[in-house]
């Protein structure tokens, strides 16, 4: 029987409520799918920071380097500045483990009310593929002549051929399993070096995938299309900054922050990939059992897919869709009265029917 060794990092706030529920659903999926999990729990968090002065131990990355995956809740809590918690835990994992793809599904499910008028379940179904390691988010830059009228500040963007090509290939490979349509986010009219280069690489990689539909939009009009024509898209590939914006806008147009899922992927599997919901630690509702566990559970489905357990991944996704469509056992953010555990239990109960 296959056994997957997974690092569970609940982190802060509602991470401590939704991760254990997500693990229960993963356990149920494993029993039905004929595989198993070996979980190791890590208390890396702002609470740990308050006690020890560090979000994780110095050899933290080495402790989890050989895991098959990382299942993370949320990181950040009042009392620790957000850039400290982010750069002390999430960013070192994303960069240290070359998780150069940030992947987010955007899917309108039955039972979820989209803020967009007149959209039917199933009419919006695409992925945002964000470059997660380079681009506009580099730490190369500096400031000169501080506090004087000559004050000057600059920050470099970094686009490498390897970095562009690999994330674009990932987008095409994903589209191969779907509608074979890839859209590129650009801004080559205003940003005159890096973005024309991005377009050039997109055109070059496109030639490796004959028969695929490709298009590209400047990021400004693309955000408008996400709202006005979300049915146009299948897989959207974007640089780090543009992808950051699109991967929040996408889930926002299909409903609650509580159900949005995400993954940080090292496609070559040289390092573990990390699966985490889009939402944060929600200090306003933490500790009350009000948190929606679906984002965490759906991220778990993405983990199952990455591990090669496609049937189990689909079953979890279908069980989520099933429970939402029936409208039972929903948490308050979805208009219901159930608590975190009750919603997760309902998804577990729906699993067998979808295997």
82: partner contacted, choices Mg ion, ligand NAI, none (Cβ within 5-8 A by kind): ligand NAI
Residue of 77, 170, 217, 275 interacting with ligand NAI (CB under 6 A): 77
Of 111, 150, 109, the closest CA to residue 251 belongs to: 109
Of 333, 341, 239, 264, the closest CA to residue 75 belongs to: 264
Q: Are 7 and 330 within 8 A, CB to CB?
A: no
- Alpha-carbon distance 302 to 129, whole Å? 14
Find the part of the chain contacting ligand NAI (CB under 6 A) among 48-56, 102-110, 277-285, 319-327. 277-285
Is 244 near Mg ion (CB under 5 A)? yes
- Alpha-carbon distance 112 to 324, whole Å? 7
Print the binding letters for residues 246-285 with Mg ion: x by CB under 5 A, - otherwise: --x-------------------------------------
Is 17 near Mg ion (CB under 5 A)? no
Within the chain, where are the H helices? 15-33, 46-52, 60-64, 82-85, 91-96, 161-176, 194-206, 219-228, 240-253, 294-306, 310-326, 340-350
Is 22 near ligand NAI (CB under 6 A)? no
Exposed/middle/buried for 221, CB within 10 Å: 0-12, 13-18, 19+? Answer: exposed
105: partner contacted, choices Mg ion, ligand NAI, none (Cβ within 5-8 A by kind): none
Print the binding letters for residues 199-238 with Mg ion: x by CB under 5 A, - otherwise: ----------------------------------------
291: partner contacted, choices ligand NAI, Mg ion, none (Cβ within 5-8 A by kind): ligand NAI
For 276-322, the DSSP string reads: EESS---TTTTTTT----HHHHHHHHHHHHHTT-HHHHHHHHHHHHH
Residue 128: strand pairing partners: 104, 236
258: partner contacted, choices Mg ion, ligand NAI, none (Cβ within 5-8 A by kind): ligand NAI
Find the part of the chain contacting ligand NAI (CB under 6 A) among 28-36, 75-83, 110-118, 195-203. 75-83
Considering the complex, what minimum distance in angstroms separates the CB of residue 68 from ligand NAI? 21
Reported as half-sphere exposure (CB side, CA atoms, 13 A), residue 37 has a value of 26
Q: How many residues bind ligand NAI (CB under 6 A)?
A: 20
264: partner contacted, choices Mg ion, ligand NAI, none (Cβ within 5-8 A by kind): none
Print the binding letters for residues 212-251 with ligand NAI: x by CB under 6 A, - otherwise: ----------------------------------------
- Alpha-carbon distance 7 to 240, whole Å? 26
Q: Using CB under 5 A, list all residues that contact Mg ion.
A: 244, 248
Chain residues binding ligand NAI by CB under 6 A are 14, 74-77, 82, 257-258, 276, 279-285, 291-292, 295, 333
């Amino acid at each position: 029987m296959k056994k997957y060794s997974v690092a569970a990092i609940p982190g802060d706030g509602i991470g401590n409520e939704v991760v254990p529920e997500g693990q229960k659903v993963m356990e149920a999926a494993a029993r039905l799918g004929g595989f198993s999990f070996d979980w190791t729990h890590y208390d890396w968090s702002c609470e740990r920071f308050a006690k020890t002065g560090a979000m994780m131990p110095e050899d933290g990355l080495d402790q989890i380097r050989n895991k098959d995956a990382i299942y993370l809740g949320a990181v950040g809590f009042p009392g620790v500045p957000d850039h400290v918690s982010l750069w002390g835990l999430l960013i070192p994992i994303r960069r240290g483990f070359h998780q150069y793809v940030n992947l987010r599904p955007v899917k309108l499910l039955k039972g979820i009310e989209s803020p967009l008028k007149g959209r039917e379940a199933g009419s919006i179904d695409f992925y945002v593929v964000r470059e997660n390691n380079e681009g506009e988010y580099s730490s190369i830059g500096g400031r000169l002549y501080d506090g004087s009228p000559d004050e000057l500040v600059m920050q470099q963007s970094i686009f490498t051929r390897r970095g562009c090509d690999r994330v674009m290939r990932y987008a095409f490979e994903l589209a191969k399993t779907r509608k074979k349509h890839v859209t590129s986010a650009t801004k080559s009219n205003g940003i005159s070096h890096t973005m024309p280069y991005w377009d050039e690489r997109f055109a070059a990689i496109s030639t490796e995938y004959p028969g695929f539909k490709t298009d590209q939009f400047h990021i400004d009009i693309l955000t408008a299309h996400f709202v006005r024509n979300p049915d146009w898209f299948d897989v959207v590939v974007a640089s780090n900054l543009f992808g950051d914006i699109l991967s929040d806008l996408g889930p926002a147009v299909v409903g609650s922050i509580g159900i949005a899922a995400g993954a940080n992927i090292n496609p070559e599997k040289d390092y573990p990939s990390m699966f985490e919901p889009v939402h944060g630690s929600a200090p306003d509702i933490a500790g009350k059992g009000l948190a929606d566990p679906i984002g965490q559970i759906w991220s778990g489905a993405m983990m199952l897919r990455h591990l090669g357990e496609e049937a189990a991944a689909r079953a979890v996704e279908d069980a989520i869709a099933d429970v939402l469509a029936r409208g039972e056992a929903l948490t308050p953010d979805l208009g219901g009265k159930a608590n975190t555990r009750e919603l997760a239990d309902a998804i577990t109960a729906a699993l067998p029917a979808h295997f």
